[in-house]
């Protein structure tokens, strides 16, 4: 099987498995797991924030951030195709009781002027704006890198209005490797960041939430309320440390494979997409001569897994389980299917 469904399908490396086996452990609900503490310290330092907290998933990291920053009855500005709005089963409405205010982005980037326009006046009819959420790279826009200047512009608006900015940086290391902008610079225009260890970085489980000491102290209470207080979580953190220490630069391989795939697919008639939109490891295409279910089904029959992300769009995500030869095979197979 050539599994291009997601970078979440990546398996832990041998070094991760060894680190898990030998990890020094303690009870993290007491803050006494030395491996978790090492991971959190490293993550905070890498992102240039005061403190960090390990959470089981990216979704929990985002939701804990929203719960910590907001109160019920307030409004959260976010991009209309963002993961928080699209893929988290309305968790922010269910748990935090917020009203989302989805705004259309450009390649996943929210224009600062639009964000400012959407911030609510002080009026009893209106839900007060409590938070702005950004996403980088932007998954549903096609793994696009949101330019640093765009994030800085939104942050200036947020500062002017006294609002926090949360970054869903599930793939912020992909953004950094692709753009050359250090993750710290992206994080500098946010109040909090969530990033995933379990995607392209290859760890089996876990995400990190970073922010100020005070924010993380309150976030720990929310994580506990949600049942995310994990005990000997060093088992997870050990692999996360290997991910942060050794797997970041490798993301460039996924990007190179995605570029190769993009160029190969662009040369096939019956596929609509702009290869210039491919910044990192995600490619979203629209077949024009066949239904999406048909194409996905034909690919699967030939051992290639993809995901349908719209009634008319299919996603290919390169990841460390897929090499250059697999990409060449994928291009050949798509061509065979679409050329009949
Ligand atoms: N994304 C998954 C699916 O949920 C769609 C994927 O296969 O891409 N933020 C972003 C931008 C994400 O892409 C994801 C996962 C998450 C948050 C949530 O992370 P997890 O799966 O750890 O809860």
pLDDT in tens, 143-189: 999 999 999 999 999 999 999 999 999 999 999 999 999 999 999 99
281, 251 Cβ separation under 8 angstroms? yes
d(CA 293, CA 312): 9
Decide: pTM greater than 0.85.
Answer: yes
Which residue would you say has higher pLDDT here, 195 or 310?
A: 195
Nearest residue by C-alpha to atom 20 in ligand 1: 58
pLDDT reading at 255 higher than 80 = yes
Q: Residue 339 — very low, low, confident or very high, per pLDDT cuts 50/70/90?
A: confident
> pLDDT above 90 covers what percent of the chain?
98
Q: 263-302 pLDDT, tens per residue?
A: 999 999 999 999 999 999 999 999 999 999 999 999 999 9
Q: List pocket residues of ligand 1, CB cut-off 6 Å.
A: 6, 8, 57-59, 83, 87, 135, 139, 168, 170, 196, 198, 207
Closest ligand 1 atom number to CA of residue 56:
22
Average pLDDT of the chain is 97
Task: Taking residues 71-85, report their average pLDDT.
Answer: 98
pLDDT reading at 340 higher than 80 = no
Give the domain ranges of the chain: 7-246, 250-339
Query: What is the number of residues in the chain?
Result: 340
**Domain at 7-246: CATH code:** 3.40.640.10
59 CA → ligand 1 middle, Å: 7
For position 120, what pLDDT does the model report?
98
Mutational pocket test of ligand 1: of 193, 196, 240, 280, the residue with most ligand atoms within 8 Å of the beta carbon: 196
d(CA 221, CA 228): 10
pLDDT reading at 30 higher than 80 = yes
Helix, coil or strand: residue 42: helix
| DSSP 8-state class, residue 109 | B
| DSSP 8-state class, residue 138 | B
For position 108, what pLDDT does the model report?
97
* Cβ burial 134-147 (10 Å sphere, 16+ → b, else e): bbbbbbbbbbbbbe
**Domain at 250-339: CATH code:** 3.90.1150.10
CA dist 101 → 109, 112, 324 (Å): 15, 15, 41
List Cβ neighbours of 39 (8 Å cut-off, separation of 6 or more): 52, 54, 208, 237, 240, 241, 244
334, 306 Cβ separation under 8 angstroms? no
Site of tokens 């969530």 = 194
168 CA → ligand 1 middle, Å: 10
Q: 116-128 pLDDT, tens per residue?
A: 999 999 999 999 9
* Closest to 199 in 3D by CA, of 56, 81, 319: 319
**Structure tokens that stand for 11 in this block:** 């398996």
195 CA → ligand 1 middle, Å: 10
* Closest to 69 in 3D by CA, of 171, 189, 211: 211
Task: Taking residues 217-246, report their average pLDDT.
Answer: 98
Site of tokens 């050949």 = 332
List Cβ neighbours of 149 (8 Å cut-off, separation of 6 or more): none
Nearest residue by C-alpha to atom 13 in ligand 1: 139
First to last CA, the chain: 22
Task: Taking residues 105-123, report their average pLDDT.
Answer: 98
List Cβ neighbours of 295 (8 Å cut-off, separation of 6 or more): 287, 314, 334, 337, 338
Task: Taking residues 302-314, report their average pLDDT.
Answer: 95
Give one word for 20, left, alpha or beta, with left for phi > 0 and alpha for psi -120 to 50.
Answer: alpha
pLDDT reading at 196 higher than 90 = yes
d(CA 295, CA 274): 19
Closest ligand 1 atom number to CA of residue 171:
11
pLDDT reading at 61 higher than 80 = yes
Kind and range of the H or E run holding 135: strand 129-135
């Amino acid at each position: 099987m050539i599994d291009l469904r997601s970078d979440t399908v990546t398996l832990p490396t041998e070094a991760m498995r060894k680190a898990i086996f030998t990890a020094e452990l303690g009870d993290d609900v007491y803050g006494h797991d030395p491996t978790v503490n090492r991971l959190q310290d490293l993550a905070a330092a890498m992102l240039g924030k005061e403190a960090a907290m390990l959470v089981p998933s990216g979704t929990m990291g985002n939701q804990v951030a929203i719960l910590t920053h907001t109160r019920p009855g307030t409004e959260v500005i976010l991009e209309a195709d963002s993961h928080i709005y699209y893929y988290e089963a309305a968790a922010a409405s269910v748990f935090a009781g917020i009203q989302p205010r989805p705004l259309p982005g450009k390649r996943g980037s929210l224009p600062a002027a639009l964000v400012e326009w959407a911030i609510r006046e002080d009026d009893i009819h209106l839900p007060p704006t409590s938070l702005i959420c950004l996403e980088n790279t932007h998954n549903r826009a096609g793994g696009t890198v949101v330019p640093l200047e765009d994030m800085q512009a939104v942050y200036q608006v947020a500062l002017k209005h006294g609002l926090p900015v949360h970054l869903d940086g599930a793939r912020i290391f992909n953004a950094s490797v692709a753009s050359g902008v250090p993750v710290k610079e992206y994080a500098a225009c946010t109040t909090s960041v969530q990033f995933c260890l379990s995607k392209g970085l290859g760890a089996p489980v876990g995400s990190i939430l970073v922010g100020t000491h005070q924010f993380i102290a309150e976030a720990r209470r929310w994580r506990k309320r949600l049942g995310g207080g994990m005990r000997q979580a060093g088992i997870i953190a050990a692999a996360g440390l290997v991910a942060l220490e050794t797997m970041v630069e490798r993301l460039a391989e996924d990007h190179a494979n995605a570029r190769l795939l993009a160029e190969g697919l662009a040369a096939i008639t019956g596929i609509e997409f702009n290869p210039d939109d491919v910044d990192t490891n995600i490619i979203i295409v629209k077949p024009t001569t066949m239904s999406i279910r048909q194409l996905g089904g034909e690919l699967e029959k030939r051992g290639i897994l993809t995901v349908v992300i719209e009634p008319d769009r299919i996603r290919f995500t390169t990841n460390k389980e897929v090499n250059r030869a697999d990409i060449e095979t994928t291009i050949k197979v798509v061509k065979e299917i679409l050329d009949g």
